[in-house]
Amino acid sequence: MPVINAVLGDITTQDVDAIVNAANKAMRGGGGVDGAVHRSGGPAILRDCIARFPNGLATGDAGWTTAGDLPARWVIHTVGPNYSTGQRDRSLLEGCYRRALEVADELGARSIAFPLISTGSYGWPRADAIAAAIETIAAARTRVDEVRLVAFDEAVHKQIRSVLWAQCPPPVGSGTVGCLFEREPIQFGLRGDSYLWRELRARFANMPLPDDWLTLRTLITHVIEQVVGEPLTNRESTPWHDSTAAIYLPEFDPGHGMSAGTVHLPWWAHTGVPILLDRYAALRGSDALPDQ
C-alpha cells in the first residue's frame, strides 16, 4: 500500500512524478482543476490531449499526457462521474482512482497527486468522495510509493486528513505519547470524539513520553483545545450526553447524521484525559500520577 498524505495546496505546483487532472469527457480543458492544469501546464497539454484522445475519454477511465510547464513529469487525466446529472454509481468514482494508479504504474511513476475527483461542479457529496478516494487508494495494488490527496481549501484538507488518520492511521512508536491512544474507548459510537482521538494519536505518534504527568496532561489538553477552538473547562459542568455540550466540527463529520461530527468536552475532561493519564501511570509506575 502506498503512503497516503493529505496536502493543503495547489495541485499544479506539486513536485511529484504525476498529477491527476479531473477532466471532462471531451478532454479539451474546462473549469476548476481541469482549467488550472491547462493554464499552468501550457498549450503542450492540450496538443497532447488532442493527439492521444481524439474521441475524448470515458467516465471512470484515465489516460496520460505530458505535463508541459508543470513541475510533474506527466498529467494523468481521469473523467469523474457527474453526480449532479444522475451519474451516481460509486464504482465509477472508485474506478477513476484505480485507473489513474494503473496508468501511473505503466509510466513508472512512484509519486502521484490527486484532487478530490467529482466534488466540484459535478457535485459528488464530499464525505463520500473522500471515503471513496482513501478506500480505493489504500486497497490498490500499485507500485506507487507516495499518494498525495491535495486540497486547495483548508476545511477540505482538514476533512481529508481526519478520514485518512481514521482509516489509515500512522504507526506509533513505543514510548511515545501516541502509544497511549492505541486502544480506543468503546463509548464513541458515531460521534466526532473518535475522530479527535485518532487525530491526537497521529499528532503524538512520534512524540516521546514526557517525564511527568503534568506535562503530559498539559500537552494533551492544549492540542484538544487547539483542535476544537474552546477551553476544555468551558463545558465541564455539563454531562457529556447533553446536546448542549456538543461542539460540531465539520471535518469530523463522515456524513452519518445524528451526532456525527460532535465532540463532547465534558467526556474528555472527566473520562478521556484520565484514561490517558492512567495508561501513562501503567507504563511509568504507580508513582507517575499525583496522590488522589
Residues with a catalytic annotation lie at 34
Can you tell me which residue has the cell 467526556? 267
Q: Which amino acid is present at 234?
A: N
Long-range contacts from 46-50, C-beta under 8 angstroms, 24+ separation: 49/77
CA–centroid distance for 129 within its chain: 11
Q: Which amino acid is present at 203?
A: R
Decide: helix, strand or coil at residue 40: helix
Span between the terminal Cα atoms of the chain, in Å: 47
Max Cα–Cα distance, the chain, nearest Å: 76
Cβ atoms of 53 and 152 closer than 8 Å: no
Enumerate residues 6+ apart whose C-beta is below 8 A from 282.
none
Phi and psi, residue 8, nearest 5°: -95, 120
User: Residue 190, exposed/middle/buried by CB under 10 A (0-12, 13-18, 19+)?
Assistant: middle
Residue 79 bridge partners (DSSP): 23
Cβ atoms of 133 and 149 closer than 8 Å: yes
Nearest of 191, 189, 215 to residue 277 by alpha carbon: 215
